[in-house]
Structure 1
Amino acid sequence: MNSLGLSLILKMGCICAKETVVVNGRKYTVREHLGDGGFSTVSLVEDNLTHKKYAIKKMVCHGPEDQRLAVKEIEYHSIVKHPNVIECIDSTHRGTADPVVNATSEVLIILPYYHKGTLANELERRARTNDYLSARDILNIFLQICEGVKAFHDVKPEPLAHRDLKIANIVLGEAMTPVIMDLGSVTQARVKVCGAQAAQTLQDIAAERCSMPYRAPELFNVESYCMVDERTDIWSLGCILYALCYFKSPFDAVYERGDSVALAVMSANITFPENAPYNEDMQNLILSMLKVNPMERPYIYTVIENVHDAIAKLESRV
């Protein structure tokens, strides 16, 4: 594959000549550029044999650490299998990253293509006309997202954390089925931080890989001696539930204004728009996850239990 040709096509966002990508003997034709992550590009491709559409995630690795992380991402796909977590259909990696001789390697992951786009796209569309989802729909979507997160937290012997849960990392299948994607930030959930250097390292990784408006407070300012666990994801889930109700994370406005998200998150000053059609129960469910002290946050099992209770309460009112 001519990687320069592909990168030019990705930059231009158009197909001037049909670019072909080969993964383990299967040929795919690049149809369009779908988006860029911090470390990857995603394109829409078509299988030359079946004409089925897929998304292909291409990661260019500039050094051994990049390569290790990209290969680890493929590994996490094989560990976490759940209907609400995106499936890896195929993958390959080429070359060896060596910064000394300026050599890069490529990791390609073939993923299902979700034509409905992301939850962020859906909420953006709804925000334009204040088209609120019903409380029942919100809880049903959120419950499925939680079930997907539980698949990470359930991994044995050590739980995994996604660490970049946000509405832009959830694609929508048929009947608004949410599917968690982008396993590039997945890591061992429980980290024992011993010393200032370890704290700084974790803080730097979080700054690089966890989106600010959804990042847990303990990742903004990592203490020198502490334990970080899977409840970083619970904070992100609180932000996602807020966004399902009000179209954006509670910290998006701060981020867009260019004010300090870290400060807003640490103070957890959560305000709720007045005109939205949700009662106090929904707000309390959101607030139960947005606790600044991670030790006060519930684990995923309790969150799922609370969502089931909220759904039962809604249904009893009908």
Structure 2
Amino acid sequence: MNTLGLSTILRLGCMCAAETVDINGIKYNVIELLGQGGFSCVELIEHTTTKRKYALKRIKCHSIDDEQLAENEISYCKQLKHPNIIELIDACHKGAADSVIQSTSEAFLVLPYYKRGTLHDYLSLKSFSKTYLEIREIIRLFSGICQALNYMHNLRDGPIAHRDLKTGNVCLTDNLDPILMDLGSCAPGKIQICGQQDAQLLQDIAAERCSMTYRAPELFHVESYCVIDQRIDIWSLGCLLYALLYFKSPFDIVYERGDSVNLAMISGNVYFPVETVFSNEIHNLIMFMLKINPSERPFIDQVIDRVDEYKRQLENTV
């Protein structure tokens, strides 16, 4: 009697257990889990016929509100068409969430698969090898992200804020071009807060969906009567540029020490290494965006102007 080795049995078992998902009549095989978040997971999938690979974002919905948030993400993905913003290939919703009986549904988003992963992954490798990015490469990557935000912040129908801009939400193409992704936190860029209830609601949403070490100070303690605009993304953009230089947000370091991120932000102190390969000009660009008072913070077109000026300086040094 022939017997199978344990590794063969396990391999065959995995093959038999492989899941197939149907998205609007198109079938994909699930290959592996790429990432897991608090509200969703991302899997590597393969078209059963063409064998082309994609990323599948699954959003588990436990309530009607969750379903609406998922539909909002799909809507933003369909609306935002830019070379530096992730493309939605297909989407569907299966099942129905009911807040009474606590059943669940799932939203499925088929997205391009970027085998290089995210900017966070890329910077982690550079950090491990203690290799700084070249300043021209930093500016090239940063400019692409700025162009994506410029498009979102200046839409004809009104600005849209990303609200969770960070290195983990930027994919990299084979050519290392940045692609802004994860539009689940997107919202209208300008919001009028009228009273404590509005303020608490936004503060709770920000705490849940906006990464702490990239979150703008005004989202930690939302005032009862104020206007929150798209410049919350500019603060995050400043943190992201710092990470392009030194691999992490300036407030990741604070968080890792166990200190208060919010207190570090409102102190206005950002630590730059004494021994560094980078110039004061690029540090000044970071601080240009990290203004505690949002009314003093630049809009994205002003940031792009400063970046273009810095590019010209670099060209003149060649």
Q: So what's the TM-score if we normalise by structure 1?
A: 0.94
Structure 1 residue 198, shift from structure 2 partner:
0.9
Which residue does 2:134 correspond to in 1?
134
CA RMSD of aligned residues (A): 1.1
Which residue does 2:145 correspond to in 1?
145
Structure 1 residue 209, shift from structure 2 partner:
0.5
Paired residues of 1:246 and 1:276 also in contact (CA < 8 A): no
Equivalences for 1:117-196 in 2 at 5 Å?
117-196=117-196
Which residue does 1:42 correspond to in 2?
42
Equivalences for 1:237-252 in 2 at 5 Å?
237-252=237-252
- Distance across 2 between alignment mates of 1:101 and 1:284: 54
Which residue does 2:316 correspond to in 1?
316
Equivalent position SS for 2:163: coil
Aligned-partner residue type, residue 260 of structure 2: S
- Distance across 2 between alignment mates of 1:160 and 1:137: 27
- Distance across 1 between alignment mates of 2:104 and 2:268: 42
- Distance across 1 between alignment mates of 2:315 and 2:174: 24
Equivalences for 1:58-77 in 2 at 5 Å?
58-77=58-77
Paired residues of 2:43 and 2:55 also in contact (CA < 8 A): yes
Which residue does 2:290 correspond to in 1?
290
After TM superposition, which residue ranges in structure 1, 4 or more long, deviate above 4 angstroms? none
- Distance across 2 between alignment mates of 1:223 and 1:298: 20
Paired residues of 1:245 and 1:276 also in contact (CA < 8 A): no
- Distance across 2 between alignment mates of 1:225 and 1:100: 34
- Distance across 2 between alignment mates of 1:92 and 1:21: 11
- Distance across 2 between alignment mates of 1:54 and 1:187: 26
Which residue does 1:215 correspond to in 2?
215
| Identical amino acids, percent of aligned pairs | 53
1:89 aligns with 2:99: no
Structure number, greater radius of gyration:
2
Which residue does 1:301 correspond to in 2?
301
Structure 1 residue 157, shift from structure 2 partner:
2.2
- Distance across 1 between alignment mates of 2:97 and 2:266: 39
Structure 1 residue 104, shift from structure 2 partner:
1.0
Which residue does 1:230 correspond to in 2?
230
Equivalent position SS for 2:165: coil
- Distance across 2 between alignment mates of 1:220 and 1:79: 29
Which residue does 1:206 correspond to in 2?
206
Paired residues of 2:55 and 2:110 also in contact (CA < 8 A): yes
- Distance across 2 between alignment mates of 1:16 and 1:125: 35
1:84-108 Cα shifts (integer Å, max 9, x gaps): 1000000000122102112111100
Structure 1 residue 301, shift from structure 2 partner:
0.6
Equivalent position SS for 1:109: strand
- Distance across 1 between alignment mates of 2:42 and 2:29: 13
Q: So what's the TM-score if we normalise by structure 2?
A: 0.94
Which residue does 1:53 correspond to in 2?
53
- Distance across 2 between alignment mates of 1:114 and 1:95: 29
Which residue does 1:275 correspond to in 2?
275
Which residue does 1:5 correspond to in 2?
none
Equivalent position SS for 1:204: helix
Q: Which runs of 5+ in 2 are unaligned?
A: 1-13
- Distance across 2 between alignment mates of 1:295 and 1:129: 39
- Distance across 2 between alignment mates of 1:317 and 1:72: 46
1:250-286 Cα shifts (integer Å, max 9, x gaps): 0001112222111112223101012321101100000
1:79 aligns with 2:79: yes
Equivalent position SS for 1:251: helix
Paired residues of 2:115 and 2:174 also in contact (CA < 8 A): no
Equivalent position SS for 1:175: coil
